[in-house]
Amino acid sequence: MADFKDQVVVVTGAAGTLGGVIADAFLAAGARLVLPDFAGDRLEARFAALRGKPDHVLAPGADLTDAPGVLRLIDAAAVTLGGIDVVVNTVGGFRGGQPLHEAPLADWDVMLQMNLRPTVLVCRAAIPHLLRRGRGRIINIGARPGATGVGGLSAYGASKAAVIRLTESLSEELKDKGITANSVLPSTVDTPDNRAAIPDADPKRWVEPAAIADLVLFLAGHGGRAISGAAIPVYGLS
């Protein structure tokens, strides 16, 4: 197992299934965590054991689409924990199922607001702290439709494609400063929500959250030191 003892890791969306599993994996590897999520009750219930612990920062109710709020949160966490080493952006959402000419135009605004803006704002706030370290890792969660167009998912796919291009640009900006930036592209993730939404599918063909967490920790650790600008597919059997 990778050792993240004394490293400070930001995992956004930690109240969700994937974010929670990734945060658990970093915690088991000795990391100190910064866990912002808008779903305050779920976050506090999910990580009740960390409440009040000086080595971790829970940020329930955090609105990661609010630029000043994100900056205050990241800066305060860095002061409290002594810096930031790794940023993992899992926040996102999904809308789709209709062709472009039938889908509400509002879907485009919602998808960019949910899937791109939080990643931009968290990276923008965290990068100065990574630069002070002289090293760091950024891992952004994209999605398969961001790499390959899917009918009925134009807004979702475009927003996730934007995450991939953003990550590639960050890699070019930061790779000479000891900071890597990569994106991970899951297909359908095996979560309770997806099982409920697609009851006739075979979840054995989907991707386990733990498999994604394994990849994220590899990229964040010493083994991922020479990988930057990659968009890595994690498709399982789908």
Backbone angles phi, psi at 164, to 5 degrees: -65, -50
Q: Is 159 exposed, middle or buried (0-12, 13-18, 19+ CB in 10 A)?
A: buried
Active site residue 235: no
Q: Residue 64: inside a domain, yes or no?
A: yes
Range of the domain at 139: 8-234
Q: Residue 153: inside a domain, yes or no?
A: yes
44/21 Cα distance (integer angstroms): 15
69/97 Cα distance (integer angstroms): 33
Positions in the chain short of pLDDT 70: 1
* Other C-beta atoms lying within 10 Å of the C-beta of residue 157: 23
Which CATH number characterizes residue 104's domain? 3.40.50.720
Q: Cβ distance 166 to 217 under 8 Å?
A: no
Q: Residue 51: inside a domain, yes or no?
A: yes
Q: Residue 2: inside a domain, yes or no?
A: no
Question: pTM of the prediction?
Answer: 0.95
pLDDT, one tens digit per residue, over 1-54 is: 678 999 999 999 999 999 999 999 999 999 999 999 999 999 999 999 999 999
DSSP 10: E
156, 159, 179, 220: the active-site residue: 156
pLDDT, one tens digit per residue, over 161-177 is: 999 999 999 999 999 99
Q: Residue 28: inside a domain, yes or no?
A: yes
Q: How many domains does the chain have?
A: 1
Q: Residue 161: inside a domain, yes or no?
A: yes
| pLDDT at residue 1, rounded to an integer | 61
| pLDDT at residue 95, rounded to an integer | 85
